[in-house]
Amino acid sequence: MPEVDLGTAAPTSNLPSEDDIVEAMKDVVDPELMVNVVDLGLLYGVQIDDEGNVTLDMTLTSPTCPLTDKIEYDTKYVLDNLANSVTVNWVWLPPWGLEMITDDGREQLRSVGYNI
């Protein structure tokens, strides 16, 4: 029987990629605008540490948004199977503006009646 060197196998990583996180975040919908937070431009940054803990830099369309808890809950829910833990770091700079909405987001807004 040939000898097998297990030490040369490529290491496997169970860590999510930034793309995995961003794709999952498309399932988090702003309850007022009915568009996902990625296409609204509310997701500013994704950090993943070596243990699979995810920190997201996110903003809201308004600092006084009453639905912050709902968005944070939905974020943790959609990332539950990807991340060891999830922290949302709410940031206000740069301020969110309409120019941050993706083309897909603009189409979604138009489909629910917004003129953008």
Q: What's the DSSP call for residue 80? A: T
CATH of domain 18-93: 3.30.300.130
| pTM for the structure as a whole | 0.85
Residue 42, classed as helix, strand or coil, is: coil
CA distance 109 to 111: 5
Q: According to the model, what pLDDT value does residue 13 have?
A: 64
**What are the structural domain ranges in the chain?**
18-93
CA 45, 85, 27, 74 torsion-angle sign:
negative
Closest by alpha carbon to 88, among 51, 42, 31, 29? 42
C-alpha Rg value of the chain to the nearest Å: 18
The angle formed by the CA atoms of residues 9, 20 and 22, to the nearest 5 degrees, is 155
Q: How many C-beta neighbours within 10 Å does residue 5 have?
A: 7
Q: According to the model, what pLDDT value does residue 69 have?
A: 95
- Tens-digit pLDDT string for the chain (116 aa): 555 454 444 444 689 999 999 999 999 999 999 999 999 999 999 999 999 999 999 999 988 888 999 999 999 999 999 999 999 999 999 999 999 999 999 999 999 999 98
Q: According to the model, what pLDDT value does residue 80 have?
A: 96
